[in-house]
Amino acid sequence: MASPAGISLFSSSSSSFVAFFLWVSLISPSVSLTCTSQTFSGNAMYPHCLDLPYLSAFLHFSYDAGNSTLSVVFSAPPSMPGGWIAWAINPTAKGMAGAQALVAFKDPETSVAVVRTLNISSYDVLVPGKLGFDVWDTKAEEDGGGLRIFAKVKIPADLAAKGKVNQVWQVGPGVSQTGFIQKHGFDSPNLNSEGTLDLSGGNAGAGGGGQGDSRVKKKNIHGILNAVSWGILFPIGAIIARYIKTFESADPAWFYLHVLCQSSAYIIGVAGWGTGLKLGSESKGITFTNHRNIGIALFALASIQMFALLLRPKKDHKYRFYWNIYHHGIGYSILILGILNVFKGLGILNPRQSYKTAFVVVLSCLGAIALLLEAFTWILALKRKSGKPSKPEIG
C-alpha cells in the first residue's frame, strides 16, 4: 500500500526484526490480548469482534442492514515503531489487488495519527484518493504501541445482498518524511492476512481467516511434496546409481531401485509443481521469480531425464558413452537445482525452525553417507586395479 503520494505493500528489512520483537514486548495489553478485552474512547460499543489470525490484529464491527452501513474499528501494531496499519474490503476478489483500503500512520510532520484511503486497482497501480464506495467518520488513534482505524463504510448493494465481504489487512515498518509508506514484509503472516467477513457476525470469534488458513495448508503441501521429491528422494536415487552399483552382487537390483526412486521423486515433484502453479494463480501480483524459474527448469529437466529410460542404449553400444554424459549431466543439475529450490521455498514459506533443521539434518546424513561411499568405492577401485581380490559387503 502507499500514502497519498503513492503507497506500496511490500517487504521490510530483515535487519529490523530484533528491534521489532523488543518493541512488541512493550505493546499495551489492549493490543496484545483478545478483542473482547478492548475498549474505545467515547465508550463506543460494537457487538461483534474478531481476533484476526495474523499480524496480532483485531476487528470490531457493527452492521446496519437497513442502510448497508458497516462501522469498524481495526487495531494492530505496526511491524516497527512509527510504522503503519491498513484494513481493506475487496469488492471483486480475494487478496490485495482490487482492494479499497484505509491506511493509518503517524504523520511525519505533526506526529498525529491520520487515516488515508487507497484504491488498489492492481499491484502495480496504487491510486490514493476516493474509494469505490462511500467512507466517512474516519479517524485514527494511537493505542500504546499500536494504531486503530475507525470508519463507517457503505457496503455496495451486491455485497450487502450476499451478507459477506472479502477483507484484507496489513502492517508495515515506517513512513518516510515525504509521506511514502515503506514496504511490508513477505513472511507467511503478511501473505495470508485476508479472509471473509460475515456481516451478521457469524464468524465472530473464528478469526475470519478461513481463506488464509486454506492457503497456508496449500503452501505446506507444496513445500512437503517438493522437499520429499527434490530434496530427499532424488539425492537417494543418485546415491544408489553412483555407489550401490559398485557392488557386483547388487546388479541389476541397484538399477531397479534407482528407477523406482527417481520415478517416485518425479511423480511427487510433478504434484508439487502443480500445487505451485495453483498457488501462483491464486496469488496474482505476488511472484517469487527465482523460485518459480528454478521450478520450471526442474520440471523440464526431470521430464527430459525420464525419457532417458526409453533412449538408454545397451552397455556395449557405441553411443552409450555420450548417453552417460547426457544422463549424468542432467541428473547432477537436477540434484543441485532441486536442493537449492527447496531452501528458497523454505525461505518463502518461513516455517518453524524445527522443520528447516530437520531438512538440513536429513541432507547432512545423505551427504555423510555419500562421502563414506565415495571413499569406499575409491578404495575398491584401487584394489581392483592392483589385482587384489576384494569381496566388499555392505555392513
pLDDT, tens digit, for every residue of 333-368? 999 999 999 998 887 776 767 788 889 999 999 999
**Could you tell me the pLDDT band of residue 131, with boundaries at 50, 70 and 90?**
confident
pLDDT, tens digit, for every residue of 48-101? 888 888 888 889 888 888 889 999 999 899 888 888 888 988 888 877 777 888
Of 73, 28, 26, the closest CA to residue 50 belongs to: 73
Mean pLDDT of 315-342: 88
Which residue's C-alpha cell is 494492530?
Answer: 76
In this predicted structure, the answer to whether residue 386 has a pLDDT above a threshold of 60 is yes
Mean pLDDT of 95-112: 82
CA–CA gap between residue 393 and residue 249 (Å, rounded): 9
CA–CA gap between residue 216 and residue 213 (Å, rounded): 5
Say how many residues make up the chain: 395
C-alpha angle 156-158-162 in degrees, rounded to nearest 5: 110
C-alpha angle 220-221-224 in degrees, rounded to nearest 5: 85
DSSP 119-184: EESSSS-EEES--SS-EEEEEEEEETTEEEEEEEEE--HHHHHHTEEEEEEEEES-B-TTSPBPPP
pLDDT, tens digit, for every residue of 175-233? 766 666 667 777 777 888 888 888 877 665 444 444 445 666 778 888 899 999 999 99
Percentage of the chain beyond pLDDT 90 is 16
pLDDT, tens digit, for every residue of 239-295? 998 888 877 778 888 889 998 999 999 999 999 888 888 877 766 556 678 888 899
Which of 21-25, 114-118, 279-283 comes out lowest in average pLDDT?
21-25
Determine contact, residues 217/185, Cβ cutoff 8 Å: no
Which of 126-130, 151-155, 302-306, 317-321 comes out lowest in average pLDDT?
126-130
All three cell numbers of 208, joined, read 475470519
Determine contact, residues 204/50, Cβ cutoff 8 Å: yes
**Adjacency order of strands within the sheet including 48-51:** 48-51, 58-64, 69-76, 146-154, 135-143
pLDDT for the residue numbered 219: 80
In this predicted structure, the answer to whether residue 10 has a pLDDT above a threshold of 60 is no
pLDDT for the residue numbered 248: 76
Domains of the chain and any CATH numbers? 2-208 (2.60.40), 214-386 (1.20.120.1770)
pLDDT for the residue numbered 177: 67
Q: Residue 87 phi/psi, 5° resolution? A: -135, 140
